[in-house]
Amino acid sequence: MHQTRTAAPALLAVSVLTLAACGNDGDDATGSGGGASDYPTESINLIVPYAPGGPTDLAARTIGSCLEEQLGQTVVVENREGASGSVGMQAMLAGGDDGYTLSLIAVPATATNPLQEDVGYTNEDYVPIAAVTEIPSVLAVEEGSPYEDAAAFFEYAEANPGALNVGVPGTTTSQAMELRRLAEEYGVEVTAVPFTGNAEMTTALLGGNVDAVFINASQDVLENIEAGSFTPLAVSPPEPVDYIDAPTLAESGFPELTSSVSVFGLAAPAGVPDDVVTTLEGTVEECLGQEEVRQQLGEQYVPDEFVGTDAFSERIDQIVEAYGPILQE
């Protein structure tokens, strides 16, 4: 799906000949940015396409800090939320393909956005470099909700189509897609209400503006569950989540709803040099091997096996295959 990046030996040869002809005696031919093999020689901008305080923001700031330490250059993290992550993706692509503007993408939203509408990029315009965290989703209600468990919630939803409002982190996220499949495949209809991130969704739930949230089970959500502010009804992966006391959606009667797991990872614009990708991929792997980084991200969220650029690309292809037909109906 993603474009293969190629080196340009002919251009390199021309550059060498030009320098020789001009009698260059030591100036850097690549300008102030340096060559790809010297990467990085200046600060890196890391775009977060979601609001501060959410799981993408946490992953970006944690991995950004480690990249800064490992690569010896400043990593500037910038939140550019909006349009389910599309605003941030456009900002990254506008930064050029030299490896100095990156993004912490959230899959599946990043991959499904261009399938639904014109968002200013396609899935050929970026290169997934490495996954940082994988976070399951949890369907949760606030403390004191009349729906004490998943059975009560879905029974009411089935009897009252569209009556329950459920907050989701964007219109093209896996949470939104699974709620759509809930209606189309099982006849249980709720009204999905999109928000820009976990913080906004939490405020809406605790303020009584939605009946439930289908939300990434990140640290902030786990803290609300532990405090009793959130009551988990169901989780999304095929297997139970050992740190959340709730059945899976499959166990709740919806065996096909197992895909709502958000993968947060590093990406760059298509065309970034191969050795830059290799450098970033290897550095992320080193970072994820550090106990301090794993604890900051949440040990439970770090993939058991490193997901590099090839495996990350395959994940995106799988998402496109699963959700593409739904979005293009």
φ, ψ dihedrals at 310, nearest 5°: -70, -45
> CA angle, corner 301, sides to 195 and 153, nearest 5?
50
Q: E strands within the chain?
A: 44-48, 75-79, 101-107, 126-142, 165-168, 191-194, 212-216, 230-235, 261-269
Give the class (CATH, top level) of 136-235. alpha beta
- Residue span(s) of the chain under CATH 3.40.190.150 come to 42-135+262-327
pLDDT at position 33 is 40
Q: What is the pLDDT of residues 141-185, one digit of tens each?
A: 999 999 999 999 999 999 999 999 999 988 878 899 899 999 999
pLDDT in tens, 287-309: 999 999 999 999 999 998 999 99
| Nearest C-alpha neighbor of 132 from the set 265, 260, 287 | 265
In whole angstroms, what separates CA 305 from the centre of its chain? 18
Q: Contact, 56 vs 198, CB < 8 A?
A: no
Query: Whose CA is closest to 297, among 265, 328, 256?
Result: 265
Q: What is the pLDDT of residues 219-247, one digit of tens each?
A: 899 999 999 999 999 999 888 998 999 99
Separation CA 280–CA 308 (nearest Å): 10
So what's the pLDDT on residue 238?
A: 86
Q: Which residues are within 8 A (CB) of 110 and not within 5 positions of it... i.e. 6 or more apart?
A: 49, 85, 89, 126, 267, 316
Which residues face 140 on adjacent strands? 213, 232
What was the pLDDT predicted at 321?
A: 87
Burial class (CB in 10 A: 0-12, 13-18, 19+), 70: middle
| Rounded Cα–Cα distance for residues 45 and 108 (Å) | 23
**Residue pLDDT, tens place only, 77-97:** 999 998 878 999 999 999 999
CATH of 42-135+262-327, one of 3.30.390.10, 3.40.190.150, 3.40.50.10710, 3.40.50.300: 3.40.190.150
Find the Cα–Cα–Cα–Cα dihedral 158, 163, 169, 170, rounded to 10°.
100
The pLDDT of residue 36 is 54
- Distance between CA 69 and CA 274 in Å, rounded? 22
Residue-wise pLDDT for 186-231, tens only, equals 999 999 999 988 889 999 999 999 999 999 898 899 999 999 999 9
* Token pair for 263: 């993968």
d(CA 232, CA 243): 11
- The Cα 110–Cα 94 span in angstroms is 16
- Listed in order, the ranges of the chain carrying CATH 3.40.190.10 are 136-235
- Say which DSSP state 248 is in: B
CB 201 within 8 A of CB 217: no
Q: Which residues, at least 6 apart from 220, have a Cβ–Cβ distance to it below 8 Å?
A: 53, 54, 55, 198, 199, 202
